[in-house]
Structures are given as C-alpha cells and as structure tokens.
C-alpha cells in the first residue's frame, strides 16, 4: 500500500509500539486517527508529534465497549474525511501466574482487550474499508500466539485467537480490495507490564538473565510493521526471536515448549 494521504486508525496509540506506529505513519505521509483508553496519553502523543499534528486526530475510546467502538468510524471520518486502514495494536498481558491461580476478573480483562477489542474494532471499520479503493486491516498478535508460554497461558490464548481471526479474515477478503496482515512482535522494550497493571517480569525473551536476542525498541518494531504494510505482507515478524521461535515451533513443538517452560520455571516458582 502507498501510505501518502491514506488515513489509518491505530489503537494503543498512547505509547509503546502503537505510539511509534503513529509517528512512523505520519512521517511517511499518512494521516492517523490515534485511539487509546487514556486521554492523558493521547495528549502526550499530540505534544510529541509537533508539526505533524495537522494530520493527527485523537480519540479516547474504550475498545472493550461495543457502543463506543461502533460510534468511532463516523467520528474518524468526520475528523479525517475517510478511513483506509486499521491497526489493532492495543493489548495487555496477564499476571505472571499459572491458569490455576489466575482469577476470572484477570482472564476476562485480557480476553476483552486483546480479542474482543480487536474484533469490535474490525467489525466497526471493515464496512468502510470495503468501500475504499484500497483498504488494510493489521492485527497485532504475539509470539505467545503461536508458542505456549507458561504463566501467560490466557494471554497466549487471546493472541492465538487474534492470529486465527486475522488469518480467517485474510482468506475471506482475498478477492476484495482489503489487505490483511497479522503481526508477531518479538521481545520489545515497552511498558506493557505497567500498562497492564501487572507486577512481575516481562515475557521470558526479554528477561535480562535469559535473553538470547537483543530487544527491539518500540520504534524499530513499528518501522518493521509499517514496512510490511507497504509491501502487503500477510505475516509480519518483528525481531529475530519471533522469526526463530516460529520456525522452531513448527519444526519441533515439543522441544520448543519444553525450552520456553524451562526459561519460565524460575519466574513462576
């Protein structure tokens, strides 16, 4: 997709990869409707964008609230004139505990944000995207969406759901004007743990003692994602760890599972 003058909606835009996606898209000539739960984060984003604010609109929305999401497309079109792409980047992790110790409130919160939020946004914007000369849906999954990670089992389930939802959309929209990509971020330096309201370490590949690969900055991850969008890539892997673990899990899922379990054992107790 040629990005110049295209309008993209980006969720989770208040920081991390989402915030950097906004910056990279604006730099490449796109217009952006930035979506986040927190108004203060969106205000910070506006301050950081400087002169690029003329192509930026901000929208404080709870993506787990269907009514709020359903009213968002017309607000974006009112602010930007149209909408050509959607990037579902908002996501949270679960507390670092086993399923047996995870309460239902935490389970529902993770599923609501990661899966249902992505689904609601996709359902709300897809009718508009199908009317455009060219449209795009990008959903951010995770390495945990194809590789089991003890202590993040429900998070992984939510991201696996995003993976299969996106792959199903890709198949359904092959004969349309809408491109579809699923993103599998590797270890990335973001504040997802704090933003999720979770105490504990990051995902195991980003743990200092066990890290085998260099963590990407959020800017690097966002750049890889936008490059993938420009090339219409159905799958976008950010980081060597994501690419390597995807290959390893396909070749030998039992070995890969035991390896990640060993890495997580000291963190789970």
SS3 string, 63-115, reads CCCHHHHHCHHHHHHHHHCCCCEEEECCCCCCCCCCHHHCCHHHHHHHHHHHH
249 neighbors 147 (Cβ within 8 angstroms): yes
Is residue 155 part of the annotated active site? The answer reads yes
Among candidate residues 136, 155, 170, 249, the one labeled active-site is: 155
For residue 57, the cross-strand partners are: 33
Write down the H helix ranges in 146-239: 153-172, 192-195, 218-230
Give the single-character DSSP code of 116.
I
Name 92's Cβ contacts closer than 8 Å, sequence gap at least 6: 109, 110, 113, 114, 155, 192, 195, 196, 197, 198
| Residue 261: both structure tokens together | 């379990």
What is d(CA 142, CA 130) in angstroms, rounded to the nearest whole number? 26
| Chain CA centroid to CA 154, Å | 16
Q: What are the residue numbers of the active site?
A: 155
């Amino acid at each position: 997709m040629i990005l110049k003058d295209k309008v993209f909606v980006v969720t989770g835009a208040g920081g991390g990869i989402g915030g950097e996606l906004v910056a990279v898209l604006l730099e490449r000539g796109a217009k952006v409707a930035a979506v986040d739960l927190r108004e203060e984060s969106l205000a910070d984003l506006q301050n950081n964008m400087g002169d690029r604010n003329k192509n930026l609109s901000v929208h404080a929305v709870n993506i787990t609230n269907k009514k709020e999401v359903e009213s968002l497309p017309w607000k974006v079109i009112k602010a930007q004139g149209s909408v050509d792409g959607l990037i579902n980047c908002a996501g949270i992790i679960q507390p670092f505990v086993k399923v047996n110790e995870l309460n239902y409130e935490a389970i529902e919160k993770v599923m609501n944000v990661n899966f249902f939020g992505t689904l609601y946004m996709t359902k709300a914007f897809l009718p508009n995207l199908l009317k455009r000369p060219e449209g795009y849906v990008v959903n951010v999954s995770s390495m945990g969406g194809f590789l089991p990670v003890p202590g993040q089992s429900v998070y992984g389930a939510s991201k696996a759901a995003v993976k299969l939802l996106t792959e199903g959309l890709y198949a359904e929209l092959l004969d349309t004007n809408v491109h579809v990509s699923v993103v599998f971020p590797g270890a990335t330096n973001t504040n997802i743990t704090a933003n999720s309201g979770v105490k504990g370490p990051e995902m195991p590949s980003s743990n200092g003692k066990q890290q085998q690969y260099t963590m990407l900055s959020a800017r690097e991850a966002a750049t890889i994602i936008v490059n993938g969008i420009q090339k219409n890539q159905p799958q976008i892997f950010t980081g060597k760890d994501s690419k390597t673990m995807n290959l390893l899990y396909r070749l030998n899922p039992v070995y890969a599972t035991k390896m990640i379990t060993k890495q997580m054992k000291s963190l789970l107790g």
